Amino acid sequence: MGVQYCKITVKSCPMFDPNCAAKIAEHVVHFRVQPFTKDEALALIEKCCGRYSRGKHVGQLRGWAEVHVCTEGGWWRLGPGERNGRVLYPGMLIAVVIRDYNGKVLFEEGLVRMS
């Protein structure tokens, strides 16, 4: 009679990597109301995060991206109280968060706030 709770995995990558930035933009498009293109997502991310002006990554996007993904389906608690949650399925994308090196949230998009 127990409840199976979901397991959420957090994967991260540096935004100065062009492949990472492109994948994060695709995930942001997934959360926005259509029509919202990948180019608009990259412009929004650049506006929020900025670009490096010095160092070995000059001209690249700042920050580290975190992708929250459900790896094992089940009930996801959203707070105290009965029926305060939802069911998540394996492979569901929960949130995309971009943080600076001090942990400050620069950009966040998803089902709920993760910070």
Residue-by-residue pLDDT tens, the chain, 115 positions: 578 889 999 999 999 999 999 999 999 988 887 788 888 999 999 998 889 899 899 999 999 999 999 999 999 888 887 778 889 999 999 999 999 988 899 989 887 665 5
* Cα–Cα distance for residue pair 106/104, rounded to 1 Å: 6
Number of domains, the chain: 1
* In a domain? residue 34: yes
Helix extents (H) in 4-86: 18-31, 38-49
Does residue 2 form part of some domain?
A: no
pTM of the model: 0.84
Cis peptide leading into 80, omega within 30 of 0?
no
Domain membership flag for residue 3: no
81 is in which domain, residue-wise?
9-110
Rounded to an integer, what distance in angstroms lies between the CA atom of residue 65 and that of residue 11? 8
* Domain presence at residue 40: yes
- Residue 71 is assigned to a structural domain of this protein: yes
Pair 106, 49: CB distance under 8 Å: yes
Within a domain: residue 1? no
